């Protein structure tokens, strides 16, 4: 008999990929997707699974403790995977309050509900950004010092500390995953790769912060989803697991590669003023998850970036709808009044 799993933020980029992956694998588990449908949440990402018997959608915000508790009781939830988050660094610099409300207070609500209802399994999806910035060498391990440098990463670090504290204080079965930069289909167009693809297709400037030499470790989204599922089912309680792709790239490398793949000129690149407090380099040491849980990334970057580009080329209407807000009409027709 399967589990009844609450997936928060399941209409976002990583959450929707996770739900499609799990439901296409004919899981016996029931997945209840709770999403507030903010600007980055898109139910169109889940059209292919919307009619599956073991998939349920509930529009709710994790900041609404009473409603989330009612949903957990209604569906007899015994596991939670928390994807729900405000995640764009630039937006956190402009206005940090939504990041505290969702990422910190929302997580606190989920933990309090888990404790009250004795939910058996809680997984917090976090980020390598909580570790801060690296020099030219080395990689983040699970024991690296937490040194967040943006309001976004500070909110995620705060949530991680709350999760750890609830596990330590109340004996709850909690786990934390910290991933490197994800890429793949259905990513909101404000993020680097889809932004550059869309702008290049329209012959618009490709804005690159500073000198473009900031380094990130890149992980194809389906590999991340597989790792999350492995940790949720088999990870040790109270543990943190780093999830990385073993693929460090400078931002400018990514931009130039996409231009080459699209046969567009480098003259489209426009260097702009650097983001305040921009971290220089992230790199993940994923030895713990590979040795303890036998997970490793399957998709190399060459294949992953090609699949990603192909998806955006074949689904340009999706990007256009997301950027124009036209998908909101789709929500209203599909679910009949999500604007409430």
Which residue is catalytic, options 152, 186, 220, 327?
152
Q: How far apart are the first and last CA of the chain?
A: 35
Structure-token pair, residue 18: 């996770």
Q: Please, are residues 45 and 37 in contact by the beta-carbon 8 Å criterion?
A: no
CA-nearest of 251, 258, 256 to 266 is 256
Q: Is 220 a catalytic residue?
A: no
- DSSP class of 145: P
Q: Is 152 a catalytic residue?
A: yes
CA 310 vs. chain centroid, Å, equals: 21
The residue assigned the tokens 């999500």 is: 338
Q: Is 129 a catalytic residue?
A: yes
CA 238 vs. chain centroid, Å, equals: 21
Which residue is catalytic, options 21, 129, 223, 285?
129
Which residue is catalytic, options 21, 86, 128, 285?
128
CA distance 175 to 240: 6
The torsion defined by the Cα of 29, 33, 34 and 37, in degrees rounded to 10, comes to: 170
The residue assigned the tokens 């588990």 is: 29
- Residues identified as active-site: 128-129, 152
């Amino acid at each position: 008999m399967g589990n009844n799993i609450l997936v928060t933020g399941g209409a976002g980029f990583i959450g929707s990929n996770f739900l499609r992956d799990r439901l296409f694998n004919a899981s016996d588990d029931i997945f209840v997707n709770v999403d507030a449908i903010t600007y980055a949440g898109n139910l169109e990402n889940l059209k292919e699974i919307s009619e599956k018997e073991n998939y349920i959608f509930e529009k709710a915000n994790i900041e609404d403790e009473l409603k989330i508790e009612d949903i957990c009781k209604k569906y007899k939830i015994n596991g939670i995977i928390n994807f729900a988050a405000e995640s764009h660094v630039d937006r956190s610099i402009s206005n940090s309050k939504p990041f505290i409300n969702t990422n910190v207070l929302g997580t606190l609500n989920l933990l309090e509900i888990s404790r009250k209802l004795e939910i058996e399994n809680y997984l917090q999806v976090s980020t390598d950004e909580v570790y801060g910035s690296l020099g030219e060498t080395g990689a983040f391990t699970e024991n690296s010092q937490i040194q967040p440098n943006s309001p976004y990463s500070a909110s995620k670090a705060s949530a991680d500390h709350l999760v750890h504290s609830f596990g330590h204080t109340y004996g709850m079965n909690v786990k934390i995953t910290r991933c490197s930069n994800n890429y793949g289909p259905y990513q909101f167009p404000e993020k680097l790769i889809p932004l550059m693809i869309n702008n290049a297709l329209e012959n618009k400037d490709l804005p690159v912060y500073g000198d473009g030499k900031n380094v990130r470790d890149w992980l194809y989204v389906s590999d991340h989803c597989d790792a999350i599922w492995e940790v949720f089912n088999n990870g040790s309680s109270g543990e943190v697991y780093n999830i990385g792709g073993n693929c460090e790239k400078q931002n400018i490398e990514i931009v130039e590669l996409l231009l080459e793949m699209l046969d567009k000129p480098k003259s489209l690149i426009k260097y702009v003023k650097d983001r305040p407090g921009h971290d220089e380099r992230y790199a993940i040491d994923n030895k713990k998850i590979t040795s303890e849980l036998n997970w490793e990334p399957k998709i190399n970057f060459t294949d992953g970036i090609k699949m990603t580009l192909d998806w955006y080329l074949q689904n340009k209407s999706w990007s256009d709808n997301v950027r124009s807000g036209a998908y909101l009409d789709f929500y209203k027709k599909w679910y009949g009044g999500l604007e409430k």
